[in-house]
Structure 1
Amino acid sequence: MRLLVGISRIIVGILFIISGWIKLNDPMGFSFKLEEYFEVGVLNLPFLVPYALAIAIAVVIFEVLLGIMLLVGYKPKFTVWSLLLMIVFFTFLTFYSAYFNKVTDCGCFGDAMKLTPWESFTKDIVLLVFILVLFFGVQHIKPLFSGKLPLTITGIALLASIWFANHVLNHLPSVDFRAYKTGVSIPDGMSIPEDAPKPKYDYHWKFIVDGNEKIITTGGDYPVVDGEFISVETVELEKGYEPPIHDFSIEMEGEDFTEDLMKEEKLLMVVSYDLSKASDQGFKNIKSITDKAISKGYTVIGMTASIDKSQDFVKHYKLGFEFFFTDQTTLKTIVRSNPGIVKVQKGVITQKLHFNDAEDLILD
């Protein structure tokens, strides 16, 4: 039992630290995932949406601390009970998402590792087994260090986690795991290879034949049936290839300008997924730097999903550029800042900045 506890202690501790750190690197992204869970039709907790970011930060810091406390052996009973309650809740959440197909990615490892709902549920079941070993063998969890050193390590980890969360929120994630990272070509990321796997479907055709209901399944072709067609149901058997960048478009009044803008030698995109939630100081910072960019020959555009508010923003901040429409989820993915700055050269992202770092923009 002592050996099983030791192995479980290492596995659970390391996994909780890694999972927590990845989400702590991008708490804004984890908060977006929590908002999905809180929505009506999922957990039906819309009143928690305004607090999603605070909850996200608290959860991931606690996750990191539990991993560290387990490894150093600080307060083992409290640690193991907390781990058990957390994994039971997460297991319920991932099962609910998988069974009812509510949230397609749990966000367990942020954008670093995408897991399907059933993969997430399986991962939580395995972790639950390890944590149960710890629960029933908690007496074998001994501190690695004597005296107050385990408490000191935990305290340092707490302060470091708070500092790191504050840092990435006021700048950008230290490590960018998303498809729009610096150096990526947006057009290349949107392309689909010729030999890419195609999706596979079953088509269940419903007919009335001789007064009886009959269902005929094909791979897509309309069946030759001497009867009255009623309906058809499509079931996806296998997903096809999905490019890392999808749902990316830059539109204005129904016209798509994506292709032309991706050819620009000097393009600056000001990204704000929701103008009503954008930082006032952020747009003041961006006003200054975009004016400089325009004077140096840059094509500057705004990108937002709340296009109806854009004209008021342009007038209020006296911006020298207009806004285009882009899908909100896409904008949230591009940059974790509202507003944020993305510099693009012929479709390749060359620099991304939080509005707090607007003055660091390199204008060639």
Structure 2
Amino acid sequence: MMHNTSFYNPISTTKQQRDFLLAVCRLLVGILFIFSGLIKANDPTGFGYKLQEYFHVFNLNALNDYSTSIAIVICAVEVILGLLLLLGIAGRAVAWGLLILIVFFTFLTFYSAFFDVVTSCGCFGDAIPLTPWQSFAKDVVLLLLILVIFSRRQKIFPLIKNSFTNNLLVVFAVVASFGFGIYTYSYLPIIDFLPYKIGNHLPSLMKMPEGAPQDVYEHIYTLKNKNSRESKKVTDKEYMDQKIWEDENWEIVGEPESKLVKKGYKLPIPDLLITDSEGNDFTAEIIENPHYNFIVTSVDVSKFSAEDLVALDRINQTIKELSNEYNLRAVLLTSSAFKDVEYLNNQLDLVLENFYADAVPIKSMVRSNPGVMLLQNGKVIMKWSKKSFPSKEVLAEKYLKQQ
């Protein structure tokens, strides 16, 4: 009697398992690359600031002026590779691109974590901050998935057989990926993950809430035995629980070490200090102003291009016209040198009061140089880039008419 065993074929089953593994890896890597690219492309200026930290570590500061452009390219490449991987287009080339990128990223995150040089990798922008070791672990997992894809790259075929359609999809992927980053660079992030986003009440984000958990530290003592000359280290808890303090044979040597055990509440805005040219503190006066308050931000006015100067002049003239009809305040907030601000004032006849703050909070306020933030009673009413700042009529109708 003959038995039909065609339903079981170990070789065929193994191939199916491998194909399933490839499909899962393609799906996970494709989605993650698209998400990572889009979340950073939502704020290419912020990602550019993170790249500058890496440039500093590797002594590549000459690239700082091109950091945002490089950021847009990196984000676009991530999205394009992710899309093409899911679509199965140019499988071999995409597999090589993914492998090269992930090897580079894995080296970068390991270097940052091991030498503790960049505190956050910026892999997912400000939306999902990761520690350096978390970033490295994520890249190791991605590397393993991409190695599977690379080893099976000859098995990647287009989901759509029509070559003309595939070419259109490639063009769409390239245009959309670069276009998104260029748009958000020009007109601010579509989703703002920073503490200065529209609708936030800034004074509340600068004060510690009642009952907020504090940082918990562990103190480590170095003890030395007077008789045996033995040394050991104990925590403050062990020191008290074991009543070592009662044993006169042990003495504390040197100063105790402090180690952070548990992070407490972190202020969303911990570092904003607004001063005049003489160093007087005007933070509360400006931030809590009950009237409409235009804050024009600039990290460095000395780096204004001709286009930036035209934009600032337009902003200045618009605010000047509005101030004749409305009770408002307008300031220029910058981390620039006093002489550079004075030169700018003389060039453009600014109506803006000049105040100074550290570059870090200014970079978080408006991702544009210059940018504009409208406050009232400490609340962020609206933000504009240098390209999106509206006309006097629009401002009066949409934001000032109720005053």
TM over 0.5: yes
Matched, 1:17 2:43: no
Matched, 1:291 2:320: yes
Partner of 1:240: 264
1:212-227 matches, within 5 Å, as 217-218=235-236
Partner of 1:149: 165
Partner of 1:281: 310
1:35 is matched with which residue: 37, 46, 52?
Answer: 52
Deviation of the 1:216 alpha carbon: 5.6
Matched, 1:161 2:194: no
Partner of 1:300: 330
Q: Is the 8 A contact 1:285 1:356 kept in 2?
A: no
Partner of 1:254: 279
Question: Could you say what secondary structure the match of 1:357 adopts?
Answer: coil
1:188-207 matches, within 5 Å, as 188-205=204-221
Deviation of the 1:229 alpha carbon: 5.8
Partner of 1:91: 106
> Structure 2 counterpart of 1:235, which letter?
K
Question: Which is further off, 46-55 or 8-17?
Answer: 46-55
Question: Which is further off, 239-248 or 72-81?
Answer: 239-248
RMSD: 2.3
1:63 is matched with which residue: 78, 85, 88?
Answer: 78
TM-score by length of 2: 0.83
Q: Is the 8 A contact 1:30 1:56 kept in 2?
A: yes
TM-score by length of 1: 0.92
Matched, 1:119 2:148: no
Q: Residues 55-114 of structure 1, C-alpha deviation per residue, up to 9 Å, x if partnerless? A: 111111111110011011111111011101111111111111112211111111111111
Q: Is the 8 A contact 1:187 1:347 kept in 2?
A: yes
Matched, 1:321 2:352: yes
Matched, 1:183 2:214: no
Question: Which is further off, 1-10 or 229-238?
Answer: 229-238
Partner of 2:59: 44
The runs of 5 or more residues in structure 1 that have no matched partner are none
2:369 is matched with which residue: 332, 338, 346?
Answer: 338
Question: Which is further off, 248-257 or 334-343?
Answer: 248-257
Question: Could you say what secondary structure the match of 1:349 adopts?
Answer: strand
**Structure 2: how far apart are the matches of 1:27 and 1:179?**
17
Count of equivalent residues: 361
Deviation of the 1:228 alpha carbon: 8.2
> Share of identical aligned residues, percent?
38
